Chains A and B, each alone.
Chain A
């Protein structure tokens, strides 16, 4: 089985959100006919004040909120329980179609494209693409 991975190097992220923009444009009904980061399957978590930038890819859909949660502390600042979560879940609006919240958004690695579009547009090298074979 081919495992597709996007590696995230948060220290290289410039916070430009080109990944969000191009993701939304690529996945538009007519490719590239619109741009709208709120429809993206990737989200850059940003705290400019404290120099924290973390791209988060949309993961699985869940219809109930989770019970086991965690917080993350970076440079003495504690970040909320959902800050770096990948789930499309009832507790928040992230990773859902803005006009139709019942539709969850999930990263599909841009299907057959040679590179996921977010990786292609990430000039900073914060996102890189790695493929590997794994016995199923």
Chain B
């Protein structure tokens, strides 16, 4: 076994009901490292592009990162890949918490699910023993109850569980795979793939070592990260949940980055969130071996402790135009239990309310429900209907794009999505945010995108000079040309910044290092040089930036090639047209944002593709594929007449 990897994977044939342990090819690790890299290679080799998302031939592949379970701080992520029922492309969803590290301790890097079980089952991995067990008694149970029932059944409270709720069972394309109180793999519908396969849960327990090749050197990099974390860890939680500082910013952007105005009381959201948090915040939990504390546990008097993170605080308040944190927490608790992605769910609710308000939907279409803003009951009812695919919820469960096609009557005007994936409520009027979202491999920047997700671009309106001086910037310190540009209005340099950001993000996906402390923010505890140091000392093979980024480019190129065979082209790398068409008003105008400039956007896209070695229609060139060691991909694209 090579250092850094466990060396084995599990092959689960759900149709036959068999589980087999397989040794992995060391070449696979060398060329693709781990996580998303392993997943796309296996997917390319085994799933032809014609395979439908909901079919036994579609695979669900879970791989831990190369550093997952090592002492590397925040080395706790895994990657779940599948052909998405939402985007219809290859998609990956990242997941943190405790499950991916436990998989490595059980002795595996990867689990591949194929086929379809004739009845509900769950997989139980206990070190070298792995078996499929009946899950009839768990079907219909919510995700929290499911995890607790499995731990009781296996008489082991250290068992880590991934599972789906009603949304996944009913194949809602916004269905997540949930783990723990709040962790999820989301934004492409992985829960729906589990539902289609009749796979309710994956439970794992392991007692094996994860080994490091050069321990003393490895720990030096851990120490650097821990020291930086100490300075930064409070900053993040203060901004996102302790004070509601970001809430104010997000709310002011309006519903889904729309020019819609929010009700006047939203001006007080910062104060309201601060008050709410000071009353109900009981803990700031963390994922496995992470010095940060991104989560916030709210002791809700009715529904019990609910653990939230990041933008989930605001999705439903935006969708329902309702300033009510209690409402927001209740909606999220429902989403966690049903296993429903709060971003897509909130977007779908906003879409349905907008259709109703504009006369496109009527009471007859909604089982008598009056879809209005400001009414918490509307969101509660729609979340439940979507999770159960009842009435209007059945139509919304497919996606806003598909629902708009079915409803007709101009409904598509209110359907805001990129490559079918519902957009978040952030402002896509920011060239930086729009661009990095458009070029991502999953049409979404939240946990699988590029660079920090801010209208101001890299700086997020924060004192970037200070971060650079203190060695906290995720970008190269000598990037004078880009670091101080306000990308909420500027375009020049976007191609380069997004190129670097995407390579960095892809590398974290391969290593299983959480993106939050490693590049998502303009201040970062885990800089690239630390990651390269960890990678080299864990495996015993030295990697420099060029070598590591070449692997990242190989993985990104392979994902692109897979999706190009499904028709993905330059035309898809964009954001909803309204951000190019509508004039900016209100708060966003005051901040200096303008509608997007089509020509400047396209100019950056040209440059960006060029940097990646793709042609101007987003297809990796033959030369690039050969250079990346992907000649087998070039041959396939040539055979299909794409190259």
- Which A residues lie at the B interface, using CB under 8 A? 11, 14-18, 21-22, 25, 28, 30-39, 46, 48-51, 53, 98-99, 121, 123-124
Proximity bits, B255-295, A CB within 8 Å = 1, else 0: 00000000000000000000000000011111111110100
Shortest C-beta distance, B413 to chain A (Å), equals 42
Contact A35 B229 (CB under 8 A): no
User: Nearest 6 pairs between A and B by C-beta?
Assistant: A98-B207, A32-B215, A34-B209, A16-B286, A14-B286, A38-B207
26 A-B interface contacts by CB (under 8 A):
A14-B284, A15-B285, A16-B289, A16-B290, A17-B289, A18-B73, A18-B289, A21-B289, A31-B215, A32-B212, A32-B216, A32-B218, A33-B212, A35-B69, A35-B70, A35-B210, A37-B105, A38-B105, A46-B157, A48-B181, A48-B307, A50-B304, A51-B283, A51-B299, A53-B285, A98-B207
Instruction: Report chain A residues within 8 Å CB of B176.
Output: none
Residues 138 to 194 of chain B near chain A (Cβ within 8 Å)? 144, 148, 157, 180-181
A45 to B, closest residue via Cβ = B157
Instruction: Report chain B residues within 8 Å CB of A34.
Output: 209-212
Give 6 A-B pairs besides A16-B286, A33-B212, A121-B291 with Cβ atoms closer than 8 angstroms: A16-B285, A17-B98, A37-B105, A50-B304, A123-B233, A124-B293
Instruction: Report chain A residues within 8 Å CB of B216.
Output: 31-32
Shortest C-beta distance, B285 to chain A (Å), equals 5
Q: Does B399 contact A (CB under 8 A)?
A: no
Contact B291 A49 (CB under 8 A): no
Q: Does B370 contact A (CB under 8 A)?
A: no
Interface centre among A16, A28, A33 (most CB of B within 10 A): A16
Q: Give complex CA distance A79, B448 in Å.
A: 39
Shortest C-beta distance, B514 to chain A (Å), equals 12
Contact A17 B293 (CB under 8 A): no
Contact B230 A123 (CB under 8 A): yes
Q: Does B533 contact A (CB under 8 A)?
A: no
- Say yes or no: A33-B211 contact (C-beta < 8 A), given A15-B285, A51-B299, A51-B305: yes
Instruction: Report chain B residues within 8 Å CB of A11.
Output: 283
Q: Does B591 contact A (CB under 8 A)?
A: no
Instruction: Report chain A residues within 8 Å CB of B208.
Output: 36
B293 to A, closest residue via Cβ = A14
Q: Does B485 contact A (CB under 8 A)?
A: no
Shortest C-beta distance, A15 to chain B (Å), equals 5
B76 to A, closest residue via Cβ = A16
B127 to A, closest residue via Cβ = A98
Q: Does B447 contact A (CB under 8 A)?
A: no
Instruction: Report chain A residues within 8 Å CB of B65.
Output: none
Contact B282 A36 (CB under 8 A): no
Contact A18 B290 (CB under 8 A): yes
Residues 99 to 115 of chain B near chain A (Cβ within 8 Å)? 105
B215 to A, closest residue via Cβ = A32
Instruction: Report chain B residues within 8 Å CB of A51.
Output: 282-283, 297, 299, 305
B74 to A, closest residue via Cβ = A16
Contact A121 B226 (CB under 8 A): yes
Instruction: Report chain B residues within 8 Å CB of A17.
Output: 98, 288-289
B144 to A, closest residue via Cβ = A49
Q: Give complex CA distance A50, B297 in Å.
A: 10
Q: Give complex CA distance A19, B613 in Å.
A: 45
Interface centre among B70, B180, B233, B289 (most CB of A within 10 A): B289
Q: Does B395 contact A (CB under 8 A)?
A: no
Q: Give complex CA distance A30, B299 in Å.
A: 43
Contact A123 B207 (CB under 8 A): no
Q: Does B585 contact A (CB under 8 A)?
A: no
Shortest C-beta distance, B277 to chain A (Å), equals 15
Instruction: Report chain A residues within 8 Å CB of B285.
Output: 14-16, 48, 53
B216 to A, closest residue via Cβ = A32
Q: Give complex CA distance A35, B180 in Å.
A: 22
Q: Does B360 contact A (CB under 8 A)?
A: no
Residues 305 to 351 of chain B near chain A (Cβ within 8 Å)? 305, 307
Proximity bits, B78-99, A CB within 8 Å = 1, else 0: 0000000000000000000010
Contact B215 A50 (CB under 8 A): no
Instruction: Report chain B residues within 8 Å CB of A49.
Output: 144, 148, 181, 304-305
B105 to A, closest residue via Cβ = A36
Instruction: Report chain A residues within 8 Å CB of B307.
Output: 48
Q: Give complex CA distance A15, B211 in Å.
A: 23
Contact B209 A35 (CB under 8 A): yes
Shortest C-beta distance, B21 to chain A (Å), equals 19
Q: Give complex CA distance A17, B144 in Å.
A: 21
| CB contact between A123 and one of B212, B229, B305 (< 8 Å): that residue | B229
Instruction: Report chain A residues within 8 Å CB of B144.
Output: 49
Interface centre among B71, B211, B233 (most CB of A within 10 A): B71
Q: Give complex CA distance A49, B283 in Å.
A: 12
A80 to B, closest residue via Cβ = B157
Instruction: Report chain B residues within 8 Å CB of A16.
Output: 285-291
Shortest C-beta distance, A126 to chain B (Å), equals 11
- Say yes or no: A32-B211 contact (C-beta < 8 A), given A18-B289, A37-B105, A51-B299: no
